[in-house]
Structure 1
Amino acid sequence: MTDPVPTTEQIEAMLHSHIAEYPDFPAPGVLFRDITPLLRDAAALRAVIQYWITLIPEDIEYIVGTEARGFVLGAPLAYEMGAGFIPVRKAGKLPGTPASLKYDLEYGSAEIQIPENSLPAGARTLIVDDLLATGGTAAATIELTRRFDVEVLGASFLIELEGLGGREQLPGVPLTTVWSIEG
């Protein structure tokens, strides 16, 4: 038997009570949102995944999840949708000759990689991560994914921090978020 899909109001209340905040981490002035309380509550996590699926396209072939929380959330989404899951890793974590992209963040720079030959040309993909803030990592993930000549149907996030310009960094990419809050 399938559990009923929670309402938007139920999900927002659940996330409000299941997201911890840590000021000045990883740098002064940054308010880190930690999803660990959500992950340790099996019923809450299941409810969020069930709700999230209602927000994204049904014809996804692959979910591309960004390290590390994009793995934790993207893999169960992919499983529930019958889609494959492709990890986007930090540099130096993959064997072989992965596709790589260097990009700037609000407090430094980073490099991400996708395993070689992981996405077939024309595949219908969705980018998934836990948080959309300034959009740098999401934009880099989309750019790197497109190098495989795939169709990026959109990007989806558990939380969007409004007012930080993340959406503006992803022009032309349909976005969905489970919970939008002030950044």
Structure 2
Amino acid sequence: MSFDECYIKSVMRTIPDWPEPGVMFRDITPLFKDPKALRMISDEFIQRYIDTDITHIASIDARGFLISSIMAYQLNIPLVLVRKKGKLPGKTIQREYALEYGTAAVEMQIDAVTEGDKVLVFDDLIATGGTVLAACTIIKELGAEVYETATLIDLPDLGGSEKIQQSGIPVHALLAYEGL
């Protein structure tokens, strides 16, 4: 089964004016009800990384967990979680990032990755890039290397993927949607 962008986009939903007026929300939840679509997406990512030297996948809260867990299982590498502040037990390291109005923070457990690890950062969507860049900062502070950022959806008009690339981190997106 090969990747079919048109099929994947036909399964996804766009919900206008959610969570606020003017936003076109790209809803990936229908993909999880469609085994063919989920397999296509998962297989596409797995094939991209099967012959690389990545040692871990760092997945960002929360929809990204669903696809990245399949990837980690198939690639036989650890999956580590990047969660919203206050959601992980034990000792953590956190970084704040800017939102349109205010800030938010993500965190990882301090033993999630170590020096010498090559980490793929996975999120379901890149908008402004703040979450991904905060995750990458934590990974680097823990001594690991960020191999690449992978995402199902890129919203290039919001500039996040460009910001990530300007920081020296490659970005791979399966789909792109213009506009907000």
Same fold (TM > 0.5): yes
CA deviation profile, 1:84-119 (whole Å, cap 9, x unmatched): 100101111111221111111234421111012111
Cα drift, residue 28 of structure 1: 2.6
CA–CA distance in structure 2, aligned partners of residues 179 and 35 of structure 1: 12
Alignment of 1:88-167 (within 5 A): 88-167=82-161
- Asked whether the equivalents of residues 58 and 81 of structure 1 are also in contact (C-alpha less than 8 Å), the reply is no
Q: In structure 2, which of residues 154, 176, 179 is the aligned counterpart of residue 180 of structure 1? A: 176
Aligned to 1:44, which of 30, 37, 47?
A: 37
Number of aligned residue pairs: give it. Answer: 176
Conserved 8 A contact 1:154-1:175: yes
Unaligned runs of 5+ in 2: none
> Which residue matches 2:52?
58
Q: Percent identity?
A: 38
Q: Please provide the CA RMSD for this pair.
A: 1.5
What is the aligned counterpart of 1:18 among 11, 21, 26?
11
Mapped to 2, the partners of 1:76 and 1:108 lie a distance apart of 33
Cα deviation, residue 54, structure 1: 2.8
CA distance in 2, matches of 1:27, 1:98: 32
SS of equivalent residue, structure 1 residue 120 = coil
Q: Distance in 1 between matches of 2:22 and 2:177?
A: 17
Alpha-carbon distance, 1:75 to partner: 1.1
Normalized per residue, which structure has more helix? 2
- Structure 2-normalised TM-score? 0.91
